[in-house]
Amino acid sequence: MFHTLLSGVPVFTAYEVITYWGFANGFLGYGFSSSASVGFWIWAVVLILLAPVIHSLHFYFGHRLLHTKLLYSRFHALHHHNVDIGPWSGLSMHPVEHVVYFSTVVVQWLLALHPINALYQIQLAAFLPALSHSGFEKVTMGKNFSLDGGSHFHYLHHKHFECNYGGSLVPLDHLFGTYHDGTVEADAALRERLRARRQALRETRAA
Ligand SMILES: [Zn+2]
Ligand SMILES: [Zn+2]
C-alpha cells in the first residue's frame, strides 16, 4: 500500500497531467479533433482493442530492462520482495519502476488522436496489477464452475524470477525461450537455461 499510494499514484498522476496538457494544447493528437470523422472513431476503437496488446508488449520490454544487472537490485528487487502476493503487491514498486511501467501511455501519445485512448491505456496499467496479483488461483462458484483468479503465469515469475517476463496475452516469452507453464519440464528447461548462462559467464570471466 505504501509504495502504491506514495509513489505509484503520484507517478500515474504526473503522466495523466502531461497527457491532458499535451492534448489540450495541441502537442498530442496531431490536431485531429474532429470527433465527427468516421476515420477518427474507427482509429479510436482500434486503439481501444489494441490497448491490452500494447500493455503486454510494453510490459515485457520494460520488465526485461528491469531484470538487467544494472537495474535489477537497484530498482526491481523491491517488487520481487512480494513472495506471498496480494492485490497491493501489483504496484508495490520502486518509483523508477513506476516511471518505466506507466510509460505505456507514451505509446498512446504517439498513436492516439483523442485523450480517451491514452486514459484507457494508463488505466489498464493502473488496475490490471491488482487483478493479476490477487493471490487467488481460482474463484469457484458452485461445484462445477470456476474461473482463473489472478495470473498463474505471473505468479510463476514471482516464484522463479527468470521466466514469464511479459503478459500471457502476447507470446514473447515463447519466442525468447523464457516461457514457464509450471510443469516439471518447464522447470528443468529453466534450470538448464540458467546453468548455461552461468557457464557462459564463467567462460567470459576466465577469457
Ligand atoms: Zn509482479
Ligand atoms: Zn520481475
pTM exceeding 0.85: yes
**pLDDT tens digits along 28-83:** 987 655 566 888 889 999 999 999 999 999 999 999 999 999 999 999 999 999 88
What is the CA 55 to chain-centroid distance, rounded?
6
- Per-residue confidence (pLDDT) for residue 136, from 0 to 100: 79
Domain with 81 in it:
2-206
- Per-residue confidence (pLDDT) for residue 148, from 0 to 100: 77
What is the CA 20 to chain-centroid distance, rounded?
22
Task: Please tell me the distance between residue 105's alpha carbon and the centre of ligand 2 in angstroms.
Answer: 20
Ligand closest to Cα of 85 equals 1
Task: Please tell me the distance between residue 86's alpha carbon and the centre of ligand 1 in angstroms.
Answer: 10
- Per-residue confidence (pLDDT) for residue 36, from 0 to 100: 64
For the chain, residues with pLDDT lower than 70 are: 31-36
CA nearest neighbour of 18 among 102, 83, 74, 87: 102
Task: Please tell me the distance between residue 154's alpha carbon and the centre of ligand 2 in angstroms.
Answer: 9
Q: How many residues does the chain have?
A: 207
Task: Please tell me the distance between residue 161's alpha carbon and the centre of ligand 2 in angstroms.
Answer: 6
The total number of structural domains that make up the chain: 1
Residues whose CB is less than 8 angstroms from the CB of residue 18 and which lie 6 or more positions away in sequence, other chains included: none
